[in-house]
Amino acid sequence: MLQSGNDFDKQLFELLASRGLAAAWLVDSPQAALEIECRQLIADPTFQSDLADYLSANPVISESIETVLAQLAFSAGVHWRQAEKVLQPLACRGWYLARWLPTFLLVDGPLGRLLRQSPSPLAKKLKSHHANFPLLASARDAFNNDLFRKVRNGFAHWSFTWNGVSNPVQIDVFHFESGRKEATLSLLEAEALHYLVVSVIRTIDEELLRKASTSGE
C-alpha cells in the first residue's frame, strides 16, 4: 500500500518530536495550520507595513529564500534513481546533500534573522505573541535546538560521515574543530529536518514575503 503525503508528513514530524523538536507540528494538517498563522499575521496592516519596510531594508532575506526555492525546484526535476545502477549509491548521497545543505545554511543566515532577531517584525511578534502562532514559534525554537545546530554546523563544515551500508543509512556529525562526534541521525531524520525548513520557507514566502512586497502597489 502506498503511503499518502499526510501519512509521510506525520511520520517525519513524529521523528522530530521524538528528538525533542517541533512537537506543535503533530497536528492533522500542519501545512494548512501554518498557512493560517501566516495569513493572520499579514492581515494586520501594521505588521504588513512593518514587514514590507524590513524586507526593503534587508533585501537579502527575500532574495536568499527565493534562491533556495529555485534550487529545490531544480532538484525536484532529477532523482538519484535515474543514474546508472553502478553510480546510484553516490548519486543517492549527492541528491540528498544537494537538497539539505542550502536549507540548513539558510537557517543559519537570513531565515534565522527573520525568525529570531530584532528588528524583524516577525521575530518581535513571535516573542510577544508566540502562543498565537504555535507552529511558527515551534519551528523557530527547533532551528535553535541543540541537535539542529550541531547538524547544521556539521554539514556547513563538511564534518560528517555517511554510512550507506547500514540500514537505514546512518549519518554521524562531528565538531568541525575538535573532531568529536556530536550527533547521530538516520537519513529519514535528516530528511525530516530538511522538510521542516522547506515547509516554513515555502509558506513564509507565499503568505508573508510576497504579500508584504505587494502591499504598497
Q: Is the pTM of this model over 0.85?
A: yes
CB 16 within 8 A of CB 25: yes
Cα separation, 125 vs 114, whole angstroms: 11
Number of domains in the chain: 1
Q: Domain residues for 96?
A: 5-213
* Residue-level pLDDT, tens digit, the chain, 217 residues: 334 457 888 899 999 999 999 999 999 899 999 999 999 999 999 999 999 999 999 999 999 999 999 888 877 666 666 666 766 677 778 888 888 999 999 998 899 999 999 899 999 999 999 999 999 999 999 999 999 999 999 999 999 999 877 778 899 999 999 999 999 999 999 999 999 999 999 999 999 999 997 765 5
What cell does 96 get? 540528498
Cα separation, 89 vs 94, whole angstroms: 9
Query: Residue type for 204, please?
Result: I
Q: What is the DSSP letter of 191?
A: H
